[in-house]
Amino acid sequence: LMLVLAYGAHSLVNIAYLAWGAQLSGTLGAVAWREGLGLAGMLAASLLPAAILAGDPAQVRPGLAAYSLAFALLTALAMLALLRRAPAAPQRDASAGWRDTWRALASNRPLRALLLPYFLNALSVAIPATLALFYIADQLGAPHLSGIFLACYFFTLWLSWAIAVRLAERMKLTT
Q: What's the pLDDT score for residue 145? A: 86
Q: Is the pLDDT of residue 117 over 60?
A: yes
pLDDT digits (tens, 9 = 90+) for 67-105: 999 989 998 998 898 788 776 666 666 666 778 878 887
Structure letter (DSSP) for residue 72: H
Distances (CA, A) of 128 to 6, 23, 39, 56, 150: 15, 30, 17, 31, 11
> Measured over all CA atoms, what is the biggest interatomic distance in the chain, rounded to whole angstroms?
60
Q: What is the model's pTM?
A: 0.56
Higher pLDDT, 76 or 22: 76
Q: What pLDDT does residue 67 have?
A: 94
Asked if pLDDT for residue 35 goes beyond 80, the answer is no
Kindly report, residue by residue over 49-73, the tens digit of the pLDDT: 888 988 899 999 999 999 999 989 9
pLDDT for 96 equals 67
Residue 35: Cβ within 10 Å count = 18
Are 46 and 147 within 8 A, CB to CB? yes
CB count, 10 Å around CB of 135? 14
Residue 164 has pLDDT above 90, yes or no: no
* Percent of the chain whose pLDDT exceeds 70: 85
In this predicted structure, the answer to whether residue 138 has a pLDDT above a threshold of 70 is yes
